[in-house]
Amino acid sequence: MEIRTVGVVGAGQMGNGIAHVFALAGYEVTLTDVSAEALEKARTLIERNLDRQQSKGAISAEDKEAALARISTTETLTDLGPCDLIIEAATEREAVKTAIFEELVPHLAEHTILTSNTSSISITRLASRTDRPEKFMGFHFMNPVPVMQLVELIRGIATDQPSFDACLAVVEKLGKTAATAEDFPAFIVNRILMPMINEAIYTLYEGVGSVRAIDTSLKLGANHPMGPLELADFIGLDTCLAIMNVLHDGLADTKYRPCPLLTKYVEAGWLGRKTGRGFYDYRGETPVPTR
Ligand SMILES: CC(=O)CC(=O)SCCNC(=O)CCNC(=O)[C@H](O)C(C)(C)COP(=O)(O)OP(=O)(O)OC[C@H]1O[C@@H](n2cnc3c(N)ncnc32)[C@H](O)[C@@H]1OP(=O)(O)O
Ligand SMILES: NC(=O)C1=CN([C@@H]2O[C@H](COP(=O)(O)OP(=O)(O)OC[C@H]3O[C@@H](n4cnc5c(N)ncnc54)[C@H](OP(=O)(O)O)[C@@H]3O)[C@@H](O)[C@H]2O)C=CC1
């Protein structure tokens, strides 16, 4: 089945990037969020990121206008029902995601493939809360979506081959590369990346190095484009903590214990770039380390 219309749930940093790349690839996109403000902010960000691509010569002015015209927004989740493909990209909390699926299910077209951009949560368990576990899978983009080449595709225990093949064809049409992961906590990328970030936070917590020293070490000593603390702020510390908790609970190994300092930052509401403060303070001209 060819996918033409795509619904995106959640207009945060991932949702806006997902809407952006689908619209640029020619899909009709409907973006939804619980807040009208988030939808407005997403549209502004998409326009700014398209401008950035246009100024670099990666796309033309017509491409940009056509992409923007393909994106519609709605605060009514059930408007997404008839879409060929739905990608849920709301907050990394299982209860939030299952509530979305339970509200959506009675309104879905029979052929709709339902997917989640979750970073870590069991696809099989999310699928079991819908009427279509065979047409449900993980469709995991990386941040920033317009820049990162990879999409992880995750089959739940019941996902059928036609749904998987349809999603794989979509990844190819987006010009991205798929990696297939089995449905275990945090899949491939975050199984490896997030313990490294958590270890960087332990390194800070134990006083081995400052924020600046840790990030400089990995940038200049291991050629990472961002230091691990800068990257944690970029991803969102709430999302990092949620992923560590899924690894810790799902694999029952103390090596995945979230660093207490990560928990403290999240408790303070210092979630990184999106709230203006995390391991760096972003409220001034340039980011300032907080430790
Ligand atoms: C948590 C999960 O579940 C999974 C994850 O996503 S884990 C996170 C994965 N992501 C990463 O690891 C990102 C690591 N960081 C990087 O790769 C880089 O720092 C970065 C690409 C984000 C920025 O790169 P940079 O060189 O510092 O900045 P900048 O020069 O502004 O951007 C690089 C390019 O990306 C483009 N770009 C950056 N953000 C963009 C956006 N949101 N939209 C469109 N284009 C964008 C820039 O225009 C620029 O394009 P050119 O190469 O054509 O010049
Ligand atoms: N950040 C990252 O680097 C990556 C994140 N992901 C995954 O993508 C998903 C989204 O993450 P991210 O974009 O960073 O998170 P954000 O916090 O930036 O955005 C989440 C958005 O979802 C909205 N939302 C919450 N509940 C609902 C609901 N019931 N219906 C519709 N929208 C809702 C939030 O609104 P409000 O703010 O009002 O609550 C917010 O606008 C998560 O599953 C995350 O794990 C995947 C890859 C990378």
How remote is the CA of residue 11 from the centroid of ligand 2, in Å? Answer: 7
Closest by Cα among 278, 271, 204 to 238: 271
**Does 73 sit in the ligand 2 pocket, CB within 6 Å?**
no
According to DSSP, the residues that pair with 152 across neighbouring strands are 140, 179
The single residue of 116, 117, 119, 120 carrying the catalytic annotation is: 119
Q: Which residues contact 188 (CB under 8 A, 6 or more apart)?
A: 152, 179, 181
Full pLDDT tens readout for the chain, 291 residues: 789 999 999 999 999 999 999 999 999 999 999 999 999 999 999 999 999 999 999 999 999 999 999 999 999 999 999 999 999 999 999 999 999 999 999 999 999 999 999 999 999 999 999 999 999 999 999 999 999 999 999 999 999 999 999 999 999 999 999 999 999 999 999 999 999 999 999 999 999 999 999 999 999 999 999 999 999 999 999 999 999 999 999 999 999 999 999 999 999 999 999 999 999 999 999 999 999
Superfamily of domain 191-289: N-(1-d-carboxylethyl)-l-norvaline Dehydrogenase; domain 2 (1.10.1040.10)
Residue ranges of the chain that CATH labels 1.10.1040.10? 191-289
The tokens describing 235, both together, are: 């991803």
Q: Is the CB of 274 under 6 A from ligand 2?
A: yes
Residues forming CATH 3.40.50.720 domain(s) in the chain:
5-182
CATH class of 5-182: alpha beta
- 119 is known as an active-site residue: yes
